[in-house]
Structure formats: C-alpha cells, structure tokens
C-alpha cells in the first residue's frame, strides 16, 4: 500500500476510534455522531498530510516529528474551538500523530521498489 493511502486510512481509522472514546464523557454523549464525524475528518486530513510527508522524506524520525506537529495542531484547533480541554485533547492527538507517522513509514511502500 502506498504511504499516502496508508496515512489516509490509518489517520481515518484512528480518528473514528478517537471520536468514539468521547462516549465515556457523558456530557458530550448526545453529540457523539458529530464528534466522530469531525474526528474522522480531522484524522483523514492529518493522515493524508503525514502520508505525503512520509513519501517525500523517507525518514522515520522526521515523519514522527511531523506527525506529532500536524496531529497536535489539529487537536489544538479542536480544543481552541471549545476553549477548554487543551491538554486532554492535544496529548492523545499527538500520540495518534506519532502512531500514524510510524505506520506510514514502517508499513507503507514508497514509489520506488520495496524499501522495507
């Protein structure tokens, strides 16, 4: 699978998962569908960006840093829109970026022949 497609899918899947965890917060449970949709969209976009970056650099360390920054930035936007929960949203978000970055670089295939 190409790094871009893999980043897109992993980002999306982790977005769904991340959104679903809001079920454990009873105050926001009524809006869970919107939260999942938003979180998934955020994950898809971040994953796409990370995948594109991974394809360009072919460098694990840089991709991990980029993943943390991109996912952290999107999480910041979400937290900023709510005006609270900065830490609670950004920390897991950053880990999701790390995971996406790792997955794209480790499991995705570059445009050149297999480099695993």
- Of the candidate residues 52, 65, 92, 109, the single one contacting other proteins (CB under 8 A): 92
N- to C-terminal Cα distance for the chain? 12
102 binds other proteins (CB under 8 A): yes
And the tokens for 29? 């449970």
99 binds other proteins (CB under 8 A): yes
Which is closer to other proteins, CB of 44 or CB of 103? Answer: 103
Which is closer to other proteins, CB of 61 or CB of 91? Answer: 91
116 binds other proteins (CB under 8 A): yes
Which is closer to other proteins, CB of 36 or CB of 98? Answer: 98
106 binds other proteins (CB under 8 A): yes
- How many residues of this chain bind other proteins (CB under 8 A)? 17
Which is closer to other proteins, CB of 5 or CB of 60? Answer: 60
Binding mask 21-40 for other proteins (x = CB under 8 A): x--xx---------------
SS (H, E, C) the chain: CEHHHHHHHHHHHHHHHHHHHHHHCHHHHHHHHHHHHHHHHHHHHHHHHHHHHHHHHCCHHHHHHHHHHHHHHHHHHHHHHHCCCHHHHHHHHHHHHHHHHHHHHHHCECCCCCCC
């Amino acid at each position: 699978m190409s790094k871009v497609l893999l980043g897109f899918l992993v980002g999306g899947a982790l977005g769904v998962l991340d959104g679903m965890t809001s079920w454990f917060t009873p105050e926001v449970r009524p809006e869970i569908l919107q939260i999942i949709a938003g979180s998934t969209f955020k994950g898809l976009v971040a994953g796409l960006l990370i995948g594109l970056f991974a394809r360009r650099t072919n460098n694990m360390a840089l991709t991990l840093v980029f993943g943390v920054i991109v996912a952290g930035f999107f999480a910041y936007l979400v937290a900023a829109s709510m005006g609270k929960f900065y830490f609670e949203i950004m920390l897991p978000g950053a880990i999701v970026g790390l995971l996406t970055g790792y997955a794209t670089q480790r499991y995705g295939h570059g445009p050149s022949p297999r480099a695993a």
